[in-house]
Amino acid sequence: MPIVTVNDAELNVFDQGQGPPILFVHGFPLNHTMWQAQLDAFAGSHRVIAPDLRGFGASGVSQATLSMERFADDLDALLNALGVDEPITYCGLSMGGYVAWEFIRKYGSRLKALVLCDTRAAADSPEAVDNRRKMAQLVLENGVEPIAKAMTPKLLSQATLDSQPDVGRRLSEMILSTRPETVAAALHAMAERADATEKLGSIGVPTLMVVGSEDILSTVDEMRGMSEAVPGANLVVIDGAGHMSPMEDPQAVNAALASFLESVSR
């Protein structure tokens, strides 16, 4: 896969297919392979672009401080580097959704449509900020193993953990392969992110929201509230899935995405 240098970062990018571009933005502390089932499904009809954000996956080590804004700047520069000038569908999960708020703020004119999976618009509570800072310290001292152990059961539903051990394994491997410095820097970046709740009402592109019925990190209720705040947005609940709905039930997520993409192409 090509490494594309943007700003001061070397980004590993999956870029395949032809047609209307979809930009897939992964969650924390993961990489673009979390979207494998979507990349496989849509590369035949769309140009699917899925980077590893700076510091993550096979992208280079980031010397710069991480922030949601910096990730959004990288995505804009990446689209320029790849020669994408037509409007894109931005599809982000969780932290990929936090990056979306900054992308919309700075590069909203690039958007044709928006897909937000298992994410939040609200900023962290003071307790959550505190936890993230402690977790960042822990990771720098002890590596990513404690975070992989703590996070995997929170990211997947019990049904997925019981019936799809391969999904749990892939997820743990993804977390374990992430550099501790990146994990810590991203935890600080998420703790510092702005609250996007007030911006929801001004989103002016077709929007699909997707959430696992068992997601305990960005709940159905929270995402329902968000979808009601975005003009014309639709919410699809993926029965039995947790926070990683695109990995846990790719068929259902792909069906929701396909029908949304069809509706925006008309």
- Report in angstroms how near the CB of residue 29 gets to ligand MLT at its nearest: 8
Query: Toward ligand MLT, which CB reaches closer, 28 or 101?
Result: 28
Shortest Cβ distance from residue 243 to ligand MLT (Å)? Answer: 6
Mark residue 199 as left, alpha or beta (left: phi above 0; alpha: psi -120 to 50; beta: remaining).
alpha
Structural tokens at position 203: 């989103």
The residues facing 25 across adjacent strands are 92
Tokens representing 241 are 């899935």
**Measured from the CB atom, is 32 or 243 closer to ligand MLT?**
243
Cβ proximity of 214 and 158 under 8 Å: yes
In the bound state with ligand MLT, the residue whose beta carbon lies nearer, of 147 and 233, is 147
Q: Which helix (H) or strand (E) holds 139?
A: helix 126-142
* Closer CB to ligand MLT, 190 or 209, in the complex: 190
- Beta carbon of residue 95, minimum distance to ligand MLT (angstroms, whole number): 3
* Other Cβ atoms closer than 10 A to 56: 27
Which chain residues interact with ligand MLT by CB under 6 A?
27-28, 94-95, 190, 217, 243
Q: Which of 185, 193, 187 lies closest to 62, judged by CA? A: 185
Whole-number minimum distance, CB 219 to ligand MLT, in Å?
A: 12
Question: How many Cα atoms are found within 13 Å in the side-chain-facing hemisphere of 260?
Answer: 27
Can you read off the two tokens belonging to residue 250? Answer: 């790719």
Nearer to ligand MLT among residue 28 and residue 71 (C-beta)? 28
Q: How far is the CB of 233 from ligand MLT (least distance, A)?
A: 20
What whole-number distance in Å separates Cα of residue 123 and Cα of residue 226? 13
DSSP one-letter string for 52-84: PPTTSTTSPPP-SPP-HHHHHHHHHHHHHHTT-
Residue 43 or 171 with smaller CB distance to ligand MLT: 171
